[in-house]
Chains A and B, each alone.
Chain A
Amino acid sequence: MFTKYFQKRSNRLALLLLVFISLLIIPAIPSLLLINIPQSKQLDLKYPEKLYGEKIIGFEINSNENINAVGVSIKNANLQNKNNIYLRAYNENGSLLGESMVSGYSVGDGDFVKFKFPKAMENNGNTKLEFSSPTSMGSNAFEIYMTNENTPSYQIFTNSNKLDLSYKQIKLFINHFMADKLFVMYYLVILICLSTIILL
């Protein structure tokens, strides 16, 4: 059946178009599933800072985007600590913008852990973020990787319009691919030659 179908040139053209279009569309589909988009690279992991009891690790960020998650790397030696870790976000006036909780059960040793807020936080000024784990003890404390004395090695995640994002991803992909000009030239010549053989 396939060989008969393949004999007609119009069918071969349709098949060829289908193959090429699939290559553009299929990889763009997962971008529709993206909820948390990283807005920055994670800062360098310099040293771990203990988090337990009354201790709070706080820092400020300035972002005009709608933050819906913050990720940090956390040490949980021997996966011993099963207590909760909280991340609370406040605006400049000290009003609570959002709260996120992660259970120690899901924190591996050295894991990058995302604290997701129930809804994206809209804040145009500085946002103060505070980590705490009041029920943890010093002996089995979580340790948050810091990039300097005051700032954990964090990464911010925001959400955005899915179609915009898909379009942006396709554009980024094409730009990135085209940057290797020599390879692209040879690669396209090969594809054109093969397509010609199929169609002629």
Chain B
Amino acid sequence: MKKIFNIPVSSKFLALALLIRFLVMPFFYHPDIKTYHFQSSFLKKGVINIYKYLLDNRAKLPIKEEFVYLPGAYLFLGGYQFIVNPIMGQGFDNWLADASQESFNAVGFNRYLFVLKLPYLLFDFLTLVVLLRFIKKDKLKKKLALIWLFNPFTIALLYVFSNIDVVATFFLLYSVLILRKRTFIAGLIMGLAASIKLYPIIALPFILVSLGSIRKALLYIVGVLTSFLIIVMPFWSKEFVASAFVSGLTTRITSFGLSLGFGDNIFIPIVLLALIFLYYQSASKKLPLITVLSALFIILVSAIHYHIQWLYWGIPFLVITAVKKNMDLKYLSALLLFGFFVPMLYMDKYMNVGVMVPFSSLYMYLPTLNTAFSKFIDPGMVMGTIHSIFLSFSLFYVYKIFSKKIK
């Protein structure tokens, strides 16, 4: 069997995996891809400090949101646009700047979606290549490759809701892979991940514990700071701090808590993360870092009000753990199904049929699932129930992966 990039499946499987992705890419749309590509389009016009530029020019810009990602994301997306600009055609910048529903009818809409999602396709396959290096047995490698290539969850997250998280997650994963042999380089790559989206920093304490020595931990931190500061420092300004550091994640982690009175609170997600950390610290020799990171991300996301894209953070780690520990995939599938269903109940058209507007702009007029439920039952109650089940599944799944030994 001829293997492409050491992916242990036949070229027919790879072709089918690619075909499915190609069929989804140009025909599903989430407005985030347009918003952050509109903001990143200013790089090719010579704007460096995008944070200040967007605030200073807010009045005259059609999309008025701040750039909430870190500079690495701006450079990555803006740089990519610079490369593909010649094949996008003249209408591309007008389409990016068109905040109305008319933009769905633009000639080239499908082309734009397809080309803008190509980097995610690259990182999707690169992630698979890295995932395979965590596993030694050929049979398990094949199982992992098939799960990764054909699971509907990552396909939907990457090619329907398309966000830049796949890039940051890839770098985090690669950093974990080379952690022990090339600690400083691993740190540099982690810094790169954190310069795109800040969330990989949550994994930092766990990574430092896994290194097992203060010298190595320091080396790793120096690596992280070096690449992070090199990328971020040119952008440092009060506008940058206000836009990029006041993230949705920070706010949401501290939204779910118990009030103790006198302005004091206990934040449940932080309690859960701290418990995972303490457990890992006491059992780090027995518990692989990959396992604890899968627990970390799935518990974190299931315990907060999350963006659907955040589900992706834990999936590569969950998949390796599931394959290595020979977990029953039914639990993992059910867990992710509940994880998908919660955001579909948000009051957001683009969390359900709205993503199909490339087929018909009329779909914008369809009610959300939330509205449909509201005719029979309180949608908040439905969402809360499903979210509670999602959290319970996460906790149960983490218990299972912590207690099961690698075969």
Question: Are B19 and A194 in contact, with the CB atoms below 8 A?
Answer: yes
Question: In the complex the two chains form, what is the Cα distance from A73 to B23 in whole Å?
Answer: 37
The answer to whether A80 has its CB under 8 Å from any CB of chain B is no
The answer to whether B317 has its CB under 8 Å from any CB of chain A is no
The answer to whether B110 has its CB under 8 Å from any CB of chain A is yes
Closest to B26 in A: A187
Question: Are A194 and B15 in contact, with the CB atoms below 8 A?
Answer: yes
> Hey, which chain A residues are within 8 Å of B107, CB to CB?
176, 179-180
> In A163-194, which residues have CB < 8 Å from any B CB?
169, 172-173, 176-177, 179-180, 183, 187, 190-191, 194
> Hey, which chain B residues are within 8 Å of A88, CB to CB?
none
> Hey, which chain B residues are within 8 Å of A198, CB to CB?
12, 15-16, 19
The answer to whether A77 has its CB under 8 Å from any CB of chain B is no
> Hey, which chain A residues are within 8 Å of B27, CB to CB?
23, 27
The answer to whether B365 has its CB under 8 Å from any CB of chain A is yes
The answer to whether A57 has its CB under 8 Å from any CB of chain B is no
Specify the main secondary structure of chain B where it touches its partner: helix
Question: In the complex the two chains form, what is the Cα distance from A173 to B28 in whole Å?
Answer: 13
The answer to whether A38 has its CB under 8 Å from any CB of chain B is yes
Q: Name B19's contact: one of A2, A30, A179, A195 (CB within 8 Å).
A: A195
Question: Are B356 and A27 in contact, with the CB atoms below 8 A?
Answer: yes
Question: Are A183 and B22 in contact, with the CB atoms below 8 A?
Answer: no
Question: Are A6 and B22 in contact, with the CB atoms below 8 A?
Answer: no
> Hey, which chain B residues are within 8 Å of A30, CB to CB?
353, 356, 360, 363, 366
Question: Are B366 and A173 in contact, with the CB atoms below 8 A?
Answer: no
> In A6-41, which residues have CB < 8 Å from any B CB?
6, 12, 15-16, 19-20, 23, 27-28, 30-31, 33-34, 36-38
The answer to whether B111 has its CB under 8 Å from any CB of chain A is yes
> Hey, which chain A residues are within 8 Å of B114, CB to CB?
183, 187
Interface string of A29-69 (1 = CB under 8 A from B): 01101101110000000000000000000000000000000
Q: Which residue numbers of A lie inside 8 Å of B, CB to CB?
A: 2-3, 6, 12, 15-16, 19-20, 23, 27-28, 30-31, 33-34, 36-38, 157, 169, 172-173, 176-177, 179-180, 183, 187, 190-191, 194-195, 197-198
25 residue pairs of the A-B complex, CB under 8 angstroms, read A6-B16, A16-B19, A19-B16, A19-B19, A19-B23, A30-B356, A33-B353, A33-B366, A169-B359, A173-B359, A176-B107, A177-B110, A179-B107, A180-B109, A183-B108, A183-B110, A183-B111, A183-B114, A187-B26, A190-B22, A191-B23, A194-B18, A194-B19, A194-B22, A195-B19
